[in-house]
Amino acid sequence: MTEPIITDTPTDEARLPVAVVSPRGASRLREGHLWVYRSDTVELPFEAGVYRVQDTRGRRLGWALVNPASEISVRLLTREDAPADEAFLRARLHAAIDFRESLGIDADGYRVVHAEADGLPGLVVDRYADVLVVQNGTAALEPHLPALVEVLVERFSPRGVLARHEGRVRTLEGLPTGTSVLYGDVPDTVEVRERGTHGDVRYLVEPWRGQKTGSFLDQRENRALLGAHARGEALDVFSYHGSFGLHLAPRARHVELIDSSESALARARENMLLNGHANVTYTEANAFDRLRELEAAGRSYATISLDPPALAKTRRDLQNAYGAYKELNLRCLKLLEPGGVMATTSCSFHVSEGDFYAMVQDAAADARVRVRVLARRGGASDHPELLGVPETRYLKFALLQRTE
Ligand SMILES: C[S@@+](CC[C@H](N)C(=O)[O-])C[C@H]1O[C@@H](n2cnc3c(N)ncnc32)[C@H](O)[C@@H]1O
């Protein structure tokens, strides 16, 4: 058995195991990516942990989260030579929190740690008012979670910290899955505030059961942007718990929310009540079918949000996904009245920005409408992308206006 490198006392480094990567793996790291696949490694320690990374000529490449059992065996933490010990990990977390503070986010629901882009690969921390939700996706970081939770408690004095350790990523890392309280207590629902163009928006999050960690925080700034254009009849397609609709309702005559999840719509209803909106209807349906019905009924809308789930989960899905995205955009553009504004999104990493805009253009041509682009965006500023790691650039968002 080999010892992981993180210790409280200095160790004789020469005796410690290292991860050796192939020339291809080394080039990938030198070019700016953080991941090395197992096929591009030459030698790995037996156990997951934080280890030094070297190329086949013994040149040092930095320190990484390493897991020999994972397909992504190496996730670089730093190119620096000094050991990445627990103090280093704590400092990374402090820096992530400091960065969010510097953004002056006018909301108490936001992302505190965005994994690779915050130098903490595989780790997500979301804040919902006085509750923090943690998702860890690497075996190497798992033993250090208690230290990281200590930092979260010190900085936020939260009521509770919840681990939502779910999904295929953890299974691939050989980690158990499940939801558990790491600190304090975590209620069923938490009320969160975010700033809209027409004042504050409040919504309830279910940290134990909600999708992702409870909410789609990456669209926070985009929701407020669409809210500034809200008027007339409005549609929120793939509404989840009403996130975009809550920004449309203050100015629209009427908003229809469409989602296939009964529980999401039940919460949407509560959220609308919480904000005093009575101009909303809730349609539990397959969005593809509902859009077809609205078109057949000759309906038209001044404001539309179209925010589907990731339709391309793998590269192989790409062709079908392109068709599905195009159908949704085509139908919404047909429903949009001239002068109307539509927000359209893809959160599939496999759909490139180029593919996304080509798809929208294709849809506009088939719908025989002319659109101008009012804004091209990605995720909110608390969800930065790391240059060189395309996997961190997943959200494409366009604000379109139909001109004729
Ligand atoms: C990306 S989320 C929407 C996020 C939301 N706009 C927000 O900002 O919080 C996608 C939503 O689509 C819903 N959904 C998935 N497939 C659907 C379908 N075929 N028809 C309608 N809704 C669907 C899911 O329940 C989920 O709420």
174: amino acid identity, one letter? G
Tokens of 16: 């410690």
CATH of residue 27: 2.30.130.10
Asked if 332 is an active-site residue, the reply is no
Sorting pLDDT into bands at 50, 70 and 90, what band is 8?
A: very low
CA of 184 relative to ligand 1 center, distance in Å: 31
Residue at token pair 């923090």 = 132
* pLDDT single digits (tens) 133-184: 999 999 999 999 999 999 999 999 999 999 999 888 899 999 999 999 999 9
* 363 in the same domain as 236: yes
CA of 131 relative to ligand 1 center, distance in Å: 24
* 133 in the same domain as 44: no
Judge whether residue 9 has pLDDT over 50. no
Strand order in the sheet with 49-55: 35-37, 72-78, 60-66, 49-55, 18-21, 41-43
Which is the closest atom of ligand 1 to the Cα of 236?
A: 6
* pLDDT single digits (tens) 90-121: 999 999 999 999 999 999 999 999 999 999 99
* 341 in the same domain as 302: yes
Tokens of 345: 């999104």
Judge whether residue 12 has pLDDT over 80. no
Q: Residue 284: what are its φ and ψ, rounded to 5°? A: -85, 110
Q: Which residues pair with 107 in a beta bridge?
A: 194
Among residues 244, 243, 303, 250, which one has the least CA distance to residue 278? Answer: 250
- Rg of the chain over Cα atoms, rounded to whole angstroms, equals 23
Quote the domain boundaries for residue 24. Answer: 13-78
- Any domain includes 7: no
- Any domain includes 341: yes
The number of folded domains in the chain is 3
Sorting pLDDT into bands at 50, 70 and 90, what band is 14?
A: low
Q: For ligand 1, atom 17, name the residue with the nearest CA.
A: 260
> Is the pTM for the entire model greater than 0.75?
yes
Q: Which residues pair with 10 in a beta bridge?
A: none
Ligand 1 site: residues with CB under 6 angstroms? 211, 216, 219, 238-240, 243-244, 259-261, 264, 286-287, 307, 309, 347
* 137 in the same domain as 69: no
Sorting pLDDT into bands at 50, 70 and 90, what band is 2?
A: very low
* 278 in the same domain as 242: yes
* 235 in the same domain as 161: no
Rounded Cα distance between 356 and 376, Å, is 11
Sorting pLDDT into bands at 50, 70 and 90, what band is 13?
A: low
33-43 burial code (b ≥16 CB/10 A, e <16): bbbbbeebbee
CA of 216 relative to ligand 1 center, distance in Å: 10
Query: Among residues 304, 347, 371, 399, which one is catalytic?
Result: 347
